[in-house]
Copies of this chain bind each other. A is one copy, B any other.
Amino acid sequence: MTFSSKLIEKAVEAFASLPGIGRKTALRLVLHLLKQDKNTTEQFAAALVAMREGIRECRLCHNLADGEICHICADTRRDRSLVCVVENIRDLMAIEDTGQYRGLYHVLGGIISPIDGIGPGDLNIDSLSARAQDGEIREVIMAISPTIEGETTIYYLSKKLQPLGVQVSAIARGVSFGGDLEYADELTLGRSIVARVPYAAR
């Protein structure tokens, strides 16, 4: 793609550096901004810079926050005896969006993965132990993907947390609601039979 303008080229390259945005899409976005008022682009740019400059990590749970403590940790109506451990902020948001959980969170910032050179020291595990030692936490729910790395992380965390008198649980796994048995993967289907639950008529 040849550009008639260095300024356009730089703007297109800026957009195209984002994940999932190719040069054709980038050009479409740039031409869209050119069609809009100058203020639109300025506000767009300002929102991004303000976000990047202003954003902080919650001192307690490592969630993204505007201040020292995130809005979840600051919410007094939440159950402070429950902590849900998640890999990243996206998982936290997915759980929040279900509206089913009213406890607190702890964002690990990744999972233990020796292949990628990520050990326990690289994750927010010390702060989780510190929170568990406070005595306020009764149960820690592991909401971590059931991969080999995920299971390793859950095992490591349970060994750290159980001696502190905290109950460790993991989210339920099985065939998804509305999911067709035929299309469930073998591991999920096999485990869902082994870990069957008594049927309660409703």
A7 to B, closest residue via Cβ = B51
A19 within 8 A of B: yes
**CB-defined contacts of A2 to chain B, threshold 8 Å:** 93, 96-97
A196 within 8 A of B: no
A25 within 8 A of B: yes
Q: How many copies does the complex hold?
A: 2
**C-alpha spacing A34/B90, complex, angstroms:** 13
- Contacts A2-B93, A45-B46, A47-B10: A53 and B38 contacting too (C-beta < 8 A)? yes
**CB-defined contacts of A34 to chain B, threshold 8 Å:** 51-52, 55, 64
Contacts from A to B (Cβ < 8 Å): 1-8, 10-11, 13-14, 17-21, 25, 27-34, 38, 40-55, 58, 63-66, 70-72, 89-90, 92-93, 96-97
Quick check: A50 and B89 within 8 Å, CB to CB? no
**C-alpha spacing A7/B64, complex, angstroms:** 10
- Contacts A33-B48, A42-B49: A5 and B90 contacting too (C-beta < 8 A)? no
Quick check: A18 and B41 within 8 Å, CB to CB? no
- Chosen A-B contacts, 7 in total, with CB atoms closer than 8 Å, are A2-B96, A4-B63, A4-B71, A14-B47, A18-B32, A21-B29, A33-B51
**CB-defined contacts of A41 to chain B, threshold 8 Å:** 48-49, 51-52
A86 CB to nearest B CB, Å? 12
**C-alpha spacing A96/B3, complex, angstroms:** 9
A47 CB to nearest B CB, Å? 4
A65 CB to nearest B CB, Å? 6
